[in-house]
């Protein structure tokens, strides 16, 4: 079952567990600058309820360690492991030209340069070598089955046009090879 996330929330981090013995919470940030995941107010769950109100933080190698009054023990921090953390969209700065929030890309129709419908963006992933779009192709009309989703690089060459207001993006599959 997938969680329903309000359109006015943007995921900025996920809880990776406890850090230390004093109840610090280890966050995996999804923001370009790691410490920005705690810069936009309280961190919420998918329904908008406050999970953490960061009081202090420190950036570690691949995560951010946070102290918050809601968590006082390592066990309490571990109990929240894998919780996605959100902030209200209006707390975030507007993206610059050619920058996008991942949440804006999910749901966009995917077309080729020739206008052929290729599918729909179902997720955006960071695997370490660059951002990847996960695209679900349309149902196969002959077999009436859903083909498996596939990954496509989210680079300017491989994804030359993104039009969030029109609800679509253009990809060039040969640029992914």
The sheet with strand 9-19 has its strands ordered as 50-52, 43-44, 84-88, 9-19, 24-29, 64-67, 56-59
Q: Is residue 97 part of a domain?
A: no
Question: Do 31 and 54 have their domain in common?
Answer: yes
CATH number at residue 19: 2.40.30.60
Question: Do 68 and 128 have their domain in common?
Answer: no
Rounded mean pLDDT of 71-86?
A: 93
In which band, very low, low, confident or very high, does the pLDDT at 21 lie, cut at 50, 70 and 90? confident
Q: Is residue 91 predicted with pLDDT exceeding 50?
A: yes
Q: What is the pLDDT of residues 145-164, one digit of tens each?
A: 888 999 999 999 999 999 98
Three-state SS for 101? coil
Q: Is residue 26 part of a domain?
A: yes
* In the chain, % of residues over pLDDT 70: 94
Question: Do 87 and 106 have their domain in common?
Answer: no
Where is average pLDDT lowest: 7-21, 61-75, 90-104, 112-126?
Answer: 90-104
Q: Is residue 4 part of a domain?
A: no
Q: Is residue 166 predicted with pLDDT exceeding 60?
A: yes
As given in the structure block, the two tokens for residue 61 are 């190698």
Domain of 44 in residue numbering reads as 9-91
Q: Is residue 3 part of a domain?
A: no
Secondary structure letter of residue 8 according to DSSP: T
Residue after which a domain boundary falls, among 91, 120, 142: 91
Taking CA atoms, 49 is separated from 32, 60, 84, in Å, by 24, 27, 12
Residue after which a domain boundary falls, among 38, 69, 91: 91
Q: Is residue 96 part of a domain?
A: no
Q: Is residue 44 predicted with pLDDT exceeding 50?
A: yes
Question: Do 24 and 60 have their domain in common?
Answer: yes
CATH number at residue 164: 2.30.30.240
Taking CA atoms, 32 is separated from 4, 80, 87, 156, in Å, by 24, 23, 15, 18
Q: What is the pLDDT of residues 105-140, one digit of tens each?
A: 989 999 999 999 999 999 988 777 788 999 999 988
Q: Is residue 2 predicted with pLDDT exceeding 50?
A: no
Q: Look at the chain and report how many structural domains it folds into.
A: 2
Q: Is residue 55 part of a domain?
A: yes
Question: Do 137 and 107 have their domain in common?
Answer: yes
**Does this model's pTM top 0.75?**
no
């Amino acid at each position: 079952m997938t969680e329903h996330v309000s359109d006015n929330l943007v995921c900025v981090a996920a809880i990776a567990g406890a850090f230390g013995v004093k109840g610090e919470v280890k966050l995996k940030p999804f923001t370009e600058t790691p410490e920005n995941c705690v810069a936009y107010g309280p961190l919420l769950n998918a329904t908008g309820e406050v999970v953490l109100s960061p009081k202090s933080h420190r950036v570690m190698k691949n995560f951010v360690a946070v102290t918050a009054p809601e968590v006082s023990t390592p066990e309490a921090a571990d109990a929240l492991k894998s919780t996605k953390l959100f902030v209200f969209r209006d707390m975030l700065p507007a993206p610059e030209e050619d920058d996008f929030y991942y949440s804006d890309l999910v749901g966009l129709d995917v077309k080729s340069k020739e206008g052929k419908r290729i599918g729909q963006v179902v997720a955006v992933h960071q695997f370490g070598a660059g951002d990847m779009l996960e695209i679900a192709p349309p149902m196969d009309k002959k077999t009436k089955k859903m083909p498996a989703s596939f990954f496509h690089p989210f680079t300017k060459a491989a994804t030359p046009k993104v039009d969030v207001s029109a609800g679509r993006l253009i990809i060039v599959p040969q640029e992914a090879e």
